[in-house]
């Protein structure tokens, strides 16, 4: 297998942000293997980055700058690699590089330019990870060589040299990553858009900018590619791109090609005829509405576009393992059930989680302020929950919404996740559910949603062992 990309040989490349979770590590190692002269800079300390630094050969770096960024590393470089978490138009170092005429790139753009495989891009506001994983699992069950990566937390850059033209690459892509691909004008073989709602307005200057970034997933497709859209989402009716339209959802018409969610299963409506994938043949978890919609989107790819036979589709769905931090049931043995839905970082995801529960709920809600109006979320389920523990930057705001909407509803502004869990347990009765479904990104108490979910798991485990 070839290592690296020779076009980077000898270039002075500044990598802005190593991080703790893979993307920065992968791109540094790839660039070093490519012969680039790499400067790595990160605002965090060597202690905080100890595990990440252990995964690269620091001696091969041109320079390592920790605890600060230096302007000279940006204005003298040939190329800047930017983390997707950072908006380059709002950072003085990247703005200085842009003014200097220095090009910016990213881990996902480097991967895209070096990947020979056929790409399936999954984007949208919620449901991306589950849909991507379902597609990947079904492809593998059918014996197809397939890779899964992107925003789901796995960098495929270390394996890009082993991906062949005949392989399938399933990429969950965020609006941040798609904005970094704009100059590449990406053309996936298949694009799936799960839905569209306002989000990440702390990063994007406007809802229009957020949408335009998402639209990069299909904008450059031709009639030789396919765009799969949610028929139930009005916001997707005028989605751009010349790709062939296939739909999924509950409101699909019989004359439309796509995957329709019917009471008894997912009905595949293809040009060659109809095929039913019955829920009775699938695990019980697919009784939940949001999982049915994710499954319909995935089956539109595998059942209609790729024409996998029904037995292989069912086998693939049966092999699907629910993702951690996504309606993950932690305990059902005691009187109270604990559910970890830390991945619910948008109001829509939390609304879906609450609506999927049949038992009384004590909800743990809140996190980082992303400049999104949270009142509609509170209105959606203020009558469906028994109590709410509000955490994070938006805790007070959420509590005020609930007190106004539902006077008398038990509401607690919790100083920490431990506090929120203990308060919820103190009020929950036998048969109740304590649900962590924040509806917001993680805040300063946590690195990311995985860390938040892991901490919830730890707190619950310790409480149950008392």
Feature table: binding site for ATP = 124-130
Tell me, what DSSP letter sits at residue 225?
Answer: S
Collect all residues with Cβ–Cβ distance below 8 Å to 358 and sequence separation of at least 6.
Answer: none
What string of H, E and C letters represents the secondary structure of 122-152? EECCCCHHHHHHHHHHHHHHCCCCEEEEECC
* Angle, helices 289-299/128-141, rounded to nearest 10 degrees: 50
Cα distance between residue 414 and residue 235, in whole Å:
35
β-strand partners of 337: 433
Q: Give the alpha-carbon dihedral of 22, 26, 27, 31, to 10 degrees.
A: 160
Which residue ranges are tagged as binding site?
A: 124-130
Cβ–Cβ < 8 Å for 441, 370: yes
* Sole residue written with tokens 């965090």: 44
Contact predicate 29/3, CB 8 Å: no
Residue 272: exposure state from Cβ atoms within 10 A (0-12, 13-18, ≥19): exposed
Q: CA 443, CA 460: separation in Å to the nearest integer?
A: 20
Burial (Cβ within 10 Å: 0-12, 13-18, ≥19) of residue 375: middle
Centroid of chain to Cα 211? 16
Nearest to 95 by CA among 85, 108, 86: 86
Q: How far apart are CA 276 and CA 154, in angstroms?
A: 33
Selection from 346, 412, 94, 319 nearest residue 195 by Cα:
346
Find, among 130, 166, 159, the residue nearest to 145 by Cα: 166
Taking alpha carbons only, the member of 375, 339, 361, 459 closest to residue 410 is 361
Handedness of CA 167, 168, 170, 176 (dihedral sign): positive
**Furthest-apart CA atoms within the chain: distance in Å:** 66
Q: Distance between CA 78 and CA 8 in Å, rounded? A: 10
- Cα-Cα-Cα-Cα dihedral sign, residues 121, 284, 354, 410: negative
């Amino acid at each position: 297998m070839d290592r690296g990309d020779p076009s980077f040989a000898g270039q002075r490349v500044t990598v802005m942000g190593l991080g703790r979770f893979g993307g920065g590590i992968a791109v540094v190692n790839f660039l070093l293997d490519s012969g680039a002269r790499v400067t790595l800079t990160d605002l965090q300390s060597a202690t905080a980055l100890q595990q990440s630094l252990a995964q690269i050969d620091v001696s091969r770096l041109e320079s390592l700058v920790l605890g600060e960024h230096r302007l000279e590393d940006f204005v003298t470089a040939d190329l800047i690699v930017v983390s997707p978490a950072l908006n380059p138009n709002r950072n003085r170092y990247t703005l200085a590089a842009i003014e200097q005429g220095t090009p910016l790139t990213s881990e996902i753009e480097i991967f895209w330019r070096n990947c020979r495989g056929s790409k399936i891009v999954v984007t949208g506001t919620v449901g991306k990870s589950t849909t991507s994983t379902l597609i990947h699992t079904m492809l593998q069950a059918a014996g197809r060589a397939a890779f899964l990566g992107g925003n789901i937390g796995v960098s495929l850059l270390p394996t890009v040299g082993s991906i062949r033209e005949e392989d399938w690459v399933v990429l969950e892509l965020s609006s941040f990553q798609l904005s970094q691909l704009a100059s590449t004008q990406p053309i996936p073989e298949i694009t799936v858009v799960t839905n569209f709602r306002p989000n990440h307005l702390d990063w994007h200057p406007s809802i229009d900018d957020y949408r335009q970034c998402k639209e990069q997933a299909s904008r450059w497709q031709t009639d030789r590619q396919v765009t799969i859209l949610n028929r139930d989402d009005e916001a997707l009716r005028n989605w751009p791109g010349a790709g062939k339209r296939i739909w999924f959802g509950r409101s699909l018409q019989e004359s439309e090609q796509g995957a329709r969610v019917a009471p008894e299963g997912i009905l595949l409506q293809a040009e060659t005829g109809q095929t039913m994938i019955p829920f009775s043949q699938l695990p019980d978890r697919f009784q939940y509405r949001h999982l049915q919609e994710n499954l319909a989107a995935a089956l539109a790819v595998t059942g209609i576009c790729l024409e996998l036979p029904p037995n292989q589709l069912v086998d693939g769905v049966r092999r699907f393992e629910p993702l951690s931090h996504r309606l993950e049931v932690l305990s059902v043995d005691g009187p109270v059930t604990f559910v970890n839905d830390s991945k619910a970082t948008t109001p829509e995801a939390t609304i879906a989680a609450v609506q999927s529960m049949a038992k009384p709920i004590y909800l743990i809600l809140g996190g980082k302020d992303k400049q999104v109006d949270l009142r509609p979320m509170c209105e959606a389920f203020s009558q469906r929950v028994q109590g709410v523990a509000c955490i994070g930057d938006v805790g007070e705001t959420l509590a005020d919404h609930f007190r106004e909407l539902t006077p008398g509803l038990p509401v607690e502004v919790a100083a920490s996740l431990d506090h929120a869990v203990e308060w919820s347990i103190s009020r929950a009765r036998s048969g109740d559910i304590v649900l962590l479904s924040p509806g917001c990104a993680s805040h300063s108490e946590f690195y990311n949603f995985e860390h938040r979910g892991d901490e919830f798991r730890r707190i619950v485990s310790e409480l149950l062992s008392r």
